[in-house]
Amino acid sequence: MKSCITISLVEEARGGPFVLWDGLEKSIAFAAELGYDAVEIFAADFAGGPESIDAAALKSMLDNAGLKCAAFGTGAGWVKHKLQLADPDAGRRSTARDFVRTIIDFAGQFGASAIIGSMQGPSGHTGDLETARGYLCEALQDGGAHAVQYGVPLIYEPLNRYETRQCCTVAQGVSMLESLATDNVRLLCDLFHMNIEESSIADALITGGKHVGHIHFVDSNRRPVGLGHMQFGPIIAALRKIGYDGYLCAEAFPFPDPHEAARQTMRAYRYWTGT
């Protein structure tokens, strides 16, 4: 398993569960200094607007630091533009899919995946559940097929019930993924959401099996690993049992501050993985 840490560039997401907030250059250098393998980036724009990431500059920052980019979040589509993939309005749905495709294309240059989290449709979306689920499946098929050209999967994240009415458990995620026309979508298992929704986090990871593609590594209270009451022994054992070799990515509140949260997660990562 490999270590990873989140960087947010989206001011509107302040207060959210992202660890580093100090811009790409400083955040990447700090992650490298602590020995992280990769970063996950939450950005507002990928298509050349004023808040857009410069791909060439990012590449050279990552190369200089010896870091990989594991994934890019798509949630700014919701946070900034109120776009979501299950919007009842066909035009808005199509704009939401285009936004996701832009991120898949951007991420592809880095061998990284795009993550569908809050873009799946929040808890308050209108319309009936089955229709909303159908729209989500269409979008995942579209995005999963689009990502094939980059040799990476699209990543789908079940969220807790207060954030979505789509999939809240790993089992629901597995059965949705198995119904898709593409096999290029994997699950993001966020331990914070799982702590709310699953009867056993370890058993749920076993259920996820080969579908597990990314982990948000965080404690029960969404603080960095070690600062809550999550039982990590069985979780790590379950990940080993399913042969998971992807990232354990710190997506946690920057508590008590971003740098200490990053250090705490790295200490916990080393402890639990024995590295």
Query: For binding to ligand LER (CB under 6 A), which residues are involved?
Result: 73, 75, 117-118, 157, 159, 163, 190, 216, 251
197 binding partner (options Mn ion, ligand LER, none; Cβ < 5 to 8 Å by kind) = none
219 binding partner (options Mn ion, ligand LER, none; Cβ < 5 to 8 Å by kind) = none
75 binding partner (options Mn ion, ligand LER, none; Cβ < 5 to 8 Å by kind) = ligand LER
Q: Beta-carbon neighbour count of residue 85 at 10 Å?
A: 28
Min dist. Cβ of residue 66 to ligand LER (A): 25
Q: Which residue is nearest to ligand LER (CB)?
A: 117
Instruction: Calculate the CA 149 to chain-centre distance.
Output: 20
Q: Which of 190, 197, 198, 219 lies at the binding interface for Mn ion (CB under 5 A)?
A: 190
Q: Using the minimum distance from each CB to ligand LER, give the nearer residue, 58 or 79.
A: 79
130-149 positions binding Mn ion, by CB under 5 A: none
118 binding partner (options Mn ion, ligand LER, none; Cβ < 5 to 8 Å by kind) = ligand LER
Q: Which residue is nearest to Mn ion (CB)?
A: 190
Q: Using the minimum distance from each CB to ligand LER, give the nearer residue, 65 or 132.
A: 132
Min dist. Cβ of residue 57 to ligand LER (A): 24
Contacts of 23 by beta carbon, 8 Å cutoff, 6+ apart: 9
Backbone dihedral angles phi then psi of residue 2, each to the nearest 5 degrees: -120, 155
Mask for 192-231, x = binds Mn ion (CB under 5 A)? ------------------------x---------------
Buried/exposed code over 15-31 (b: 16+ C-beta within 10 A; e: otherwise): ebbbbbbeebeebbebb
Q: Using the minimum distance from each CB to ligand LER, give the nearer residue, 118 or 207.
A: 118
- Residue 135 and residue 143: Cα distance in Å, rounded? 12
Min dist. Cβ of residue 159 to ligand LER (A): 5
169 binding partner (options ligand LER, Mn ion, none; Cβ < 5 to 8 Å by kind) = none
159 binding partner (options Mn ion, ligand LER, none; Cβ < 5 to 8 Å by kind) = ligand LER
Min dist. Cβ of residue 16 to Mn ion (A): 10
Min dist. Cβ of residue 117 to Mn ion (A): 6
Min dist. Cβ of residue 200 to ligand LER (A): 20
Could you say whether residue 163 binds Mn ion (CB under 5 A)? no
- Residue 147 and residue 4: Cα distance in Å, rounded? 21
Q: Which residues bind Mn ion (CB under 5 A)?
A: 190, 216, 251
